Amino acid sequence: MQHKGCFFLLPSKKNTGQSVGTVRDSTYHMPMKKLISSLLIVSFTSSVTLLPVMADSLPDLGDSAQTTLSRQQEQALGDSIMSQIRMSRDVVDDVEIKDYLNRLGGKLVAASPDPRQRFEFFIVSDPTLNAFALPGGYIGVHTGLIFTAQSESELAAVLGHEIAHVTQRHLSRSIEKNQNVMLLGLAVLAAGLLASRSNSGQITEAAIAGSQALTIQGQLNFTREHEYEADRIGIQILAAAGFDPRAMPVFFGRMEKTNRLYDNNAPEYLRTHPLDSARIAESQNRSAAYPYKQYAENPEFHLMREKLRAKDGSAVAQIRYFESAINDRRFNLEAASYYGLATALFRDHQFQKAHQAVVQARKTLSHPLLESLDAQISLALGNKDEAVRQYLAALGKYPNHYGLHYGLIQCRLAQHQPTEAIKLAQQQIAARTSNGDFYALLAEAYAQQGQESAQQQAQAEYYYRQGLLDEAIIQLQMAAHAKNNDFYRQSAIEARLKNLQEEQELVKKKGS
């Protein structure tokens, strides 16, 4: 197949064609001619549309004399792209799924060559087979890829490969080689990503001139080198983290098969991570060097996969899907199919039937996710006390489970017990690094108490963890103007505000 390569790539909306919009070139301090050549980079990796208004929100990445991105610039660019992605409805915002993916990713990162690099893993609701790394350690996976993977090790193989792109600093190395053309390409790519996710009709169509000066061949060879390196390091990460290294060639095989089904319309991942027989053979050889052993399958992967499926598209269609899968015994894990059915029934407000499906799932599996869903069903049925009892019982068995803690606090809020909710949320915030979700609950609890400035403080922390620095600062500014703050709260608000304003200055300055 034809090589089309760039590793950092981008979930594109399907069938966006080759359309690009107008760009205010002044945004980038670059002449228009260069801009067109950079658009070409975008075009052979993915179809991209561009909205000029979005480009304004990208950080200033400095003048064209600069040939490499510093780590801070890379982070600033990644943060900026990510905060925009988060606002799109396509990012899966389920606390249990996010927690699972980040725990899985965290295990791999801990076994990577750069365990101190910050990473965040997220899922984009998109049926195409794709995964991508953004600057700053943000790794996105499409639902289509998760549905294709048949085991946790296969998903881990893809994540390991993407982690390797980041730890090997392929982004910066590419920029070094291609200088600012690539840099600009990324900025445009970022803007294009945002535009492709928005539904605005203000996109001006324009053809990309195919003859613009760009050494495509050099770019592609370079990319292929990166792909081999990402495979090599990825397999090492996979094995070191305790996953099956053979899952990498197995998943490549699945991709190839999917590719044949797609005919000429190759899956996104193959376009962005070109795969050829030599690369597959090499990953087979590498994985064969590891001693053969049996790997226990993690049921949580299957539960999460079916939860994602249950939340995808129409609930009624998914209920039918799970019912027939269970009927025909077409599943990897029976309990996961019942859990998927229960989730789809829950979405369709068939709470009693959802509970029955959880009861079926429990017959073959004990898992905190089943208890969490059952408690949510009780809450939806209006049995708040029963839901609290279920959460507490489950936490007795699984004391660290993210979703159980989150659900219990939601119950306390439903019971209008904000003092209890605040206590629990603060405990989780102290105990966890990825605690944005708990700040959102904390803000809600303070709102129930009518403590406006405390609510704004918590809201600011939530925004900050979403990468929305400006919004966080606005919340703190409002909190600082509240009349009834005591001395300690006022000092804390002002100190944090100063802190975030300094960070904002730094982000602006880093570019120029």
Cα separation, 302 vs 308, whole angstroms: 10
Q: How far is the CB of 176 from Zn ion (least distance, A)?
A: 18
Q: How far is the CB of 494 from Zn ion (least distance, A)?
A: 45
Q: CB under 8 Å to 428, separation ≥6 — which residues?
A: 405, 406, 409, 435, 438
DSSP 133: E
CB 223 within 8 A of CB 6: yes
Under DSSP, is residue 134 helix (H, G, I), strand (E, B) or coil?
strand
The sign of the dihedral angle between the CA atoms of 258, 262, 267, 273 is positive
Residue 197 touches Zn ion, criterion: CB under 5 A: no
Q: Give the binding range for Zn ion (CB under 5 A) out of 58-66, 115-123, 169-177, 229-237.
A: 229-237
> Would you say 59 or 137 has its CB closer to Zn ion?
137
> Would you say 278 or 359 has its CB closer to Zn ion?
278
In the range 256-285, which residues lie near Zn ion by CB under 5 A? 273
Q: Give the binding range for Zn ion (CB under 5 A) out of 2-10, 40-48, 168-176, 315-323.
A: 2-10
Cα separation, 157 vs 234, whole angstroms: 7
Cα separation, 54 vs 171, whole angstroms: 22
Under DSSP, is residue 166 helix (H, G, I), strand (E, B) or coil?
helix
Q: CB under 8 Å to 3, separation ≥6 — which residues?
A: 220, 223, 224, 274, 276
Cα separation, 501 vs 482, whole angstroms: 19
**Residues 6-35, mask of contacts with Zn ion (x by CB under 5 A):** -x----------------------------
Q: CB under 8 Å to 297, separation ≥6 — which residues?
A: 151, 152, 332, 333
Taking CB atoms, the residue at the shortest distance from Zn ion is 273
Number of residues this chain uses to bind Zn ion (CB under 5 A): 4
> Would you say 274 or 299 has its CB closer to Zn ion?
274
Phi and psi torsions of 229, nearest 5°: -65, -40
Q: How far is the CB of 170 from Zn ion (least distance, A)?
A: 8
In the range 375-434, which residues lie near Zn ion by CB under 5 A? none
Name residue, tokens 């982070």. 75
Name residue, tokens 């060639």. 249
Q: How far is the CB of 231 from Zn ion (least distance, A)?
A: 8
Q: How far is the CB of 227 from Zn ion (least distance, A)?
A: 5
> Would you say 167 or 459 has its CB closer to Zn ion?
167
Q: How far is the CB of 6 from Zn ion (least distance, A)?
A: 9
Q: How far is the CB of 262 from Zn ion (least distance, A)?
A: 19
| Contact with Zn ion (CB under 5 A) among 101, 186, 230, 239 | 230
Q: Give the binding range for Zn ion (CB under 5 A) out of 1-9, 41-49, 97-105, 479-487.
A: 1-9
Q: Which residues bind to Zn ion, rule: CB under 5 A?
A: 7, 227, 230, 273
